[in-house]
A and B are shown apart, each in its own frame.
Chain A
Amino acid sequence: TDQEVASKEDDIAYESYRKMPLEECRKLRIFIDKRHEAVILPIFGMAVPIHISAIKNLSMTEEEKGALLRINFATPTISTIEENENRVHLKEMVYKSQSRLPLQNALRLIKDLQKRFKTRQQELKQMEN
């Protein structure tokens, strides 16, 4: 089953839905939760947490009216796919808004969180060595 396939080493954003920042979720805007190392994405009325480790890179495109924020997620390459793997991976999402500033802020906060997370991972590795 899917549960068995999911690696135990995977980082978890929230142990349960109740632990999500529910007031922030209600706004239906991209929200960065530093403490949980998670980015909450509004997707058709649901507040969808994504652990920062699952985000590969981001980019922003300015348009005449507003901007686009492109989020690329980490996906396995065909050569690293496990034998029993049969899954769908979210690979990319593009958000559009007439207001550039909130998207610019989201991009900056996500990049900051990525840096913090990578630094922490390196520190953990060094301690293990």
Chain B
Amino acid sequence: VEPPPAAAAPPVAIIEVRDIFLIKRGEPMRATAKFAPHGVSIRIRDTGKVDTVQATEVREARWMPVARQNQLRLRLASGGFVIMDNIPNERKDALRSLIDNNYSTPLEMVEPCSKGWTYGAEKFDGSILTFLVDGKPAFEIPLAAVSNANAQKNEVSLEFHEVENDEMDAQFIESMRFLVVDAAEENTK
């Protein structure tokens, strides 16, 4: 009787996603990400620099549609975020299964608000300010992009750093202003 063939080692599931944007301080950098059961490595195209994330470091993993396809955001034990944009829909199921099965937290699916309203609530999350509309993220401001902030009476204004971009027609946000209403406070005056 022939011995049963030795079981082949299961192939290490690595998911490679090319042409992503690694977002650092609000600025996108072209990169390729490799997701493995033990973690992620992200190679920045222009510099060749590789960022790595250990699966055990991940405290929160979030999938959200953004302007450039989808964003995968990892919150690390250190409090920092690793943000990757331009991930195609087709990679969602495979990445979800890899993260759910191997990382310390499952992949959370988030839908941004698309209602078109301009009022909501602010939420600070470490280095990110999220503007929630109807309870969902409408937009997120990386605080590193803010060059100047002012608060006066009911108004908060933010100015942003100039961004370098080769595209002549690129459109940048120079400043934003918010009206902050606290009715309870108004009524006690």
Contacts and interface: CB of A to CB of B under 8 A. Distances in A.
Given A2-B135, A44-B142, A102-B171, A50 B118 contact: yes
B28 A88 contact: no
A22 B168 CA distance: 22
Interface string A1-39: 111001000111111110110000110111000000010
Interface residues of A, number: 58
Interface residues of B, number: 54
A26 B68 contact: yes
A14 B136 CA distance: 14
Contacts of A50: 116, 118
Interface string B134-157: 110111111001000000001100
Contacts of B182: 86
Interface in B44-66: 65-66
A26 B139 contact: no
Contacts of A19: 114
Contacts of A92: 175-177
A38 B132 CA distance: 19
A73 interface: yes
A42 B138 CA distance: 11
| Most-contacted residue by chain B among A11, A68, A91, A99 (CB, 10 A) | A91
Interface in B156-189: 168-184, 186-187
A125 interface: no
B181 A95 contact: no
Given A20-B114, A46-B112, A86 B169 contact: no
Contact of A94 (B115, B121, B139, B174): B174
A17 B111 contact: yes
B67 A42 contact: yes
15 contacts: A2-B135, A6-B117, A16-B111, A43-B173, A44-B139, A45-B23, A45-B85, A86-B182, A88-B119, A88-B120, A88-B131, A90-B178, A91-B179, A94-B173, A95-B171
Interface of A: 1-3, 6, 10-17, 19-20, 25-26, 28-30, 38, 42-51, 54, 68, 73-76, 78, 81-99, 102-103
